[in-house]
Amino acid sequence: TSKFTPKFGGSGSLGMDIHISDLNLLTRRKLSRLLDPPDPMGKDWCLLAMNLGLPDLVAKYNINNGTQNDFISSPVHALLQEWSNAPESTVGILMSKLRELGRRDAADFLLKASPIFKINLDANGQEAYASSCNSGTSYNSISSVVSR
């Protein structure tokens, strides 16, 4: 299992089990730039929404036909917001769905941009400090952590 309890107390999660809500804004924006534009083969946000069980978003955002430039009205932004309400919405599942969709570009970007781990330190039963790390890490070292 990739849940762990550090020696110093608290708990943490490794890369693929990190909740999608922990993705930073820049990562979400890049995913939006990759997946918002309509794809001739349908490998865009619409099919991703269907694969994640959110078909209502397709009807709501399909009227824009991929012409919006505003991040707030981005279908991928809305998709990630909505999907993050489920506790099982992890980076690993999103990566898997992107690969199933044939969007290895987006899956590989997500692998590079996602935190390798997240540590939650507890103080009197409450989350006092959350830390994630991915800076200064090469793609190869991330891949080796993920493959273990």
pLDDT tens figures, 50-78:
999 999 888 888 765 544 455 558 999 99
Q: What is the residue range of 140's domain?
A: 1-18+117-148
Q: Do residues 85 and 55 both lie within one domain?
A: yes
Q: Do residues 62 and 36 both lie within one domain?
A: yes
Q: Do residues 109 and 42 both lie within one domain?
A: yes
Q: Average pLDDT, stretch 69-91?
A: 86
Q: Do residues 99 and 36 both lie within one domain?
A: yes
Q: Do residues 46 and 82 both lie within one domain?
A: yes
Q: Do residues 99 and 39 both lie within one domain?
A: yes
Q: Do residues 79 and 135 both lie within one domain?
A: no
On the question of pLDDT at 91 being above 70, the answer is: yes
Q: Do residues 68 and 140 both lie within one domain?
A: no
Cβ–Cβ under 8 Å, residues 36 and 44: yes
Distances (CA, A) of 4 to 10, 11, 19, 124: 9, 6, 15, 19
Cβ–Cβ under 8 Å, residues 130 and 54: no
On the question of pLDDT at 49 being above 50, the answer is: yes
Q: Do residues 45 and 68 both lie within one domain?
A: yes
How many domains are there within the chain?
Answer: 2
Output phi, psi for 94, to 5 deg. Answer: -60, -45
Output phi, psi for 18, to 5 deg. Answer: -70, 135
Q: Do residues 70 and 143 both lie within one domain?
A: no
C-alpha dihedral (12, 15, 21, 23), degrees to nearest 10: 120
**Cα–Cα distance measured from residue 119 to residue 133, given in angstroms and rounded to the nearest whole number:** 9
User: Which one is predicted more confidently, 60 or 98?
Assistant: 98
Q: Is 0.85 surpassed by the pTM of this model?
A: no
Q: Do residues 34 and 87 both lie within one domain?
A: yes
